[in-house]
Amino acid sequence: MDKRDNLIEVRNLKKFFSIGDNTLKAVNDISFEIKRGETLGVVGESGCGKSTAGRTILRLYDATEGDVLFEGKSIMNLNQQEMKAMRRNMQMIFQDPYASLNPRMTVGDIIGEALDIHGLATGQKRKERIQELLSLVSLNPEHMNRFPHEFSGGQRQRIGIARALAVEPKFIVCDEPISALDVSVQAQVVNLLEQLQEKMGLTYMFIAHDLSMVKYISDRVAVMYLGKMVELAESDALYEKPLHPYTQALLSAIPIPDPEVERNRERIVLQGDVPSPMNPPSGCHFRTRCPKAMPECAASVPVWKEVEPGHFAACHLYN
């Protein structure tokens, strides 16, 4: 694979939080690349570290260990001034359309903030740029003086997208951007993200727990479980031939909106809950719920390995 194609490279990234005397290994040694112009989906259940990974990649959290390269350049050692400039390249769209917009600021000021911080436009030009951004996400430019609470969830999420686009970034981390929205509105936001990607050549890291939407939007999909990446593959390959038992269970758990299919479906229902990330099981973290667990799963951590071309998995079944 041509290395120059990688917009983002994540190398052995770790992010630990200390909580009292315990260490929460939220992200525990993950490595992957995101190619220019692609959408990498990251899925997993709550507590798997997918959001922490996204935030650490953007240096909203300081990494415990590891490196993140943007266009081949490490961002971990940039000083404050350099990091501020780097932020124009990488942006984020948040999950909660209610908490992600400052309730005391008008929509115009929320979107204009990026312009102010980086000195991109002032006065009349600022106003025009804000209105242009609002139109870009199909919102009425006349609404720039309204407050966030006057908008619906989907409209607010589009305001968040306009804010991220204000600095003309190359890379956007979408942190569960649709999980708080109504189904009919989810498609609006996803379609908008796809249009913008095409128009502006954006690269996305799309974090979600909804696998059907991730499958729809992503070129490649990574599956995380308790801070570790367990599988990474081309979207179609992952859904057609999931290798890791966790991925298999995850896919099987999703109800399909088709009564006939549902009546004739055998599903793998995992037993028990996700263990606490404070105190994960030894060896393979998934072994306590894995229907195919073997003695060696408790003994050693499975290696991250390219099982098939472009299809990675960390599971003792493939060692």
Partner 1 sequence: MERILDVKDLHVSFHTYAGEVKAVRGVNFHVNRGEAVAIVGESGCGKSVTAQTLMKLIPMPPGEIKKGQILFNGDDIVKKSKKEMESIRGKDIGMIFQDPMTSLNPTMTIGSQITEGLIKHQNMSKAAARDRAIELLTMVGIPQPERRVEQYPHEFSGGMRQRAMIAIALACSPKLLIADEPTTALDVTIQAQILDLMKELQKKTGTSIILITHDLGVVAEMCDRVIVMYAGKVIETGTVDDIFYNPQHPYTKGLLRSVPRLDLNRDEPLTPIFGTPPDLLRPPVGCGFTARCESAMRVCQEIDPELNDISTTQRAACWLQHPLAQNRA
Partner 2 sequence: MQNLTKEHFEPISVDLRQAEAIKRPSLSFWSDVWRRMRMNKVAMASMIFIVALIVCAIVVPWLTPQDYFTTDLAGKNKKPSAEHWFGTDDLGRDVFERIWYGARISLQVGLAAAFIDLIIGVIWGGLAGFYGGRVDEIMMRIADILFAIPYLLVVILLMVVLEPGVGTIIIALTITGWIGMARIVRGQILQLKNQEFVLAARSLGADANRLIFKHLIPNALGPIIVTLSLTVPSAIFAESFLSFIGLGVSAPIASWGTMSNEGLPAMKYYPWRLTFPAIFISMTILAFNLFGDGLRDAVDPRLRK
The contact set with partner 1 (CB under 8 A) reads 45-46, 152-155, 182-188, 190-191, 209, 211-213, 215-216, 235-236, 239, 249-262, 267, 269-271, 273-274, 289
Q: Cα separations (Å) of 44 from 211, 241, 243, 298?
A: 9, 18, 15, 21
Sheet containing 39-43, strands listed edge to edge, beginning at the edge strand earlier in sequence: 90-93, 171-175, 203-208, 39-43, 220-225, 228-234, 311-314, 304-308
State which of residues 58, 68, 75, 192 lies at the interface with partner 2 (CB under 8 A).
58
Q: Which stretch binds partner 2 (CB under 8 A): 40-48, 135-143, 197-205, 255-263?
A: 135-143
Write the binding mask 83 to 112 for partner 2: x where contact by CB under 8 A, - elsewhere. xx--xx-xxx-xxx--xxxxxxx-------
CB of 166 to partner 2, least distance (A): 8
**Closest to 275 in 3D by CA, of 45, 10, 22, 17:** 45
Interface with partner 2, residue 163, by CB under 8 A: yes
Question: Of the two residues 1 and 183, which places its CB atom closer to partner 1 in the complex?
Answer: 183
Interface with partner 2, residue 209, by CB under 8 A: no
CB of 260 to partner 2, least distance (A): 33
What is the amino acid identity at position 123?
G
Kindly give the residue spans of alpha helices, DSSP state H, lying in the chain. 50-57, 80-86, 107-117, 123-136, 153-165, 183-200, 211-217, 235-240, 245-253, 259-263, 295-299
Given the rule CB under 8 A, which residues bind partner 2? 55, 58, 60, 83-84, 87-88, 90-92, 94-96, 99-105, 113-114, 117-118, 139-140, 143, 145-147, 150-151, 155, 160, 163, 166-167
